A and B are shown apart, each in its own frame.
Chain A
Amino acid sequence: DGGITQSPKYLFRKEGQNVTLSCEQNLNHDAMYWYRQDPGQGLRLIYYSQIVNDFQKGDIAEGYSVSREKKESFPLTVTSAQKNPTAFYLCASQLTTGGTEAFFGQGTRLTVV
C-alpha cells in the first residue's frame, strides 16, 4: 500500500522533555510538510521541505526542529522550548511543491503531562 504514515497516534510527554514524531511516505514525493492543529482551529505550518537535505521554517517554527536526511522521512522534534506543545500534529507529502494534491497522514496527538 502506498501512503503516508505517522507514528505514534498518541504521545505523552513530560514537561521539559524533547519528543520526536515520525512521518514516513512511500509515494516518492519530493515535498513534505508539518502542521499543527489546536482544537477548533485550522492548520498552521511548522516546517516544510521541498527536497532532501533542505527545509524551511513555516509560520510557527519556534520550539520545533526537523531533518530531511531521506526522501521518505521527515521527523519532527518538539523541543522543551515549545511552551505549549499539546496539539494534533499532521504530516503531509506532495509530489512537488506545486500543482498536485498533498496527502496527509492520520496525525499524532501530543499531550504534555
Chain B
Amino acid sequence: GESVGLHLPTLSVQEGDNSIINCAYSNSASDYFIWYKQESGKGPQFIIDIRSNMDKRQGQRVTVLLNKTVKHLSLQIAATQPGDSAVYFCAENREGFQKLVFGTGTRLLVSP
C-alpha cells in the first residue's frame, strides 16, 4: 500500500549563525551523495555533492561531511542568510545499480 509521508523536521537559526543539517542514509553500498535545496513551490536545486572516497567537500558557504562508518551525511551552511530558508534534502545513489533515494528533508528557517 501507499507509504505514509513523514512531516519535515525544522531547524530554526538566526541570521549570521552557522547551520548544520543532518541526514542518515540507508545503503552502505551507496557511493555518491547529493544535497538539494527546495524553495516553496519550486523544484529542488543542486547544492553540492560528494563521493564516498571523500570525507569532506567545500563549496561557496557550504560544506558537506560524510561519515561512512555511521552512514551519516551533514550539510554545513556558514553565515546563514534569510535567502537560505528552504527545505534541504539529501540523496544517495550507487553508480549503475540503484535509483536515486531521497532522505526525509529538513526545513531551515532563518530569522533576521
Contact = CB atoms under 8 A, between A and B. Distances in A.
B79 interface: no
A44 B5 contact: yes
Interface string B72-107: 000000000000000001010111111111111100
Given A99-B93, A107-B43, A42 B102 contact: yes
Contacts of B91: 102
Contact of A98 (B5, B49, B97, B105): B97
Interface residues of B, number: 34
Contacts, number: 87
B42 A92 contact: no
B11 interface: no
Contacts of A99: 31-32, 51, 93, 95-96
Interface in B23-74: 31-32, 34, 36, 41-46, 49, 51
11 contacts: A33-B100, A38-B5, A42-B104, A43-B105, A44-B5, A60-B2, A97-B97, A99-B96, A104-B43, A106-B42, A107-B42
Interface of A: 6, 31, 33, 35, 38, 40-45, 48, 50, 56, 58-60, 62, 88, 90, 92, 94, 96-107, 109
